[in-house]
Each structure stands twice: as structure tokens, then as C-alpha cells.
Amino acid sequence: MISDKIGTITKPLVNIQKDAKAYSMEFNGQSTGFFVSIKEALLSREWDYVTLQHVSSQSARYEKYKPYLEELSA
């Protein structure tokens, strides 16, 4: 799992575009102490499932994050 405590939907998109090591890598619920990009995390192993989760005061407003979903999930 990787996590980013910033609650905007545009931040992950910018991080993907810049290949930024902005995410804390966890393994079995424990921090590894490493920061990785989303690309590095996805390439680090074979995944059965990958989920995108967004939590903010805007989460209930689909129109706020819908424009970014296609690029984030590509």
C-alpha cells in the first residue's frame, strides 16, 4: 500500500506526471521507511487488484474527481 495524506485529487495526477517519490510504502501494514512513486509501487510486484481511493470533503461530489479518473487509472 502507498499513502499520501494530501486530500486533493489533482495531487496524485501531478505526482504521476512527475514520477514523484511522494508516497510512503507500507508492507503488511508497516511502514518500510521508503518513499516511492506510484509507478515504482505498481511495478514492484504483480498485483491481483489495484484500487484508487480518495478521501476529502469533496469525495461525495463525483463531478469533482471524474475528470481525473481516466488519466489516473491509465
Give the per-residue pLDDT at 36: 94
Classify residue 38: in a domain, yes or no: yes
Classify residue 60: in a domain, yes or no: yes
Instruction: State if pTM tops 0.75.
Output: no
Classify residue 74: in a domain, yes or no: no
Residue 2 CA, chain-centre distance (Å), reads 7
In 3D, which of 57, 55, 53 has the Cα closest to residue 69?
53
Classify residue 30: in a domain, yes or no: yes
pLDDT tens per residue across span 49-68: 988 776 767 667 777 777 77
Domain count, the chain: 1
Summary mean pLDDT of the chain: 81
- Expressed as residue numbers, the domain containing 26 is 2-68
Classify residue 31: in a domain, yes or no: yes
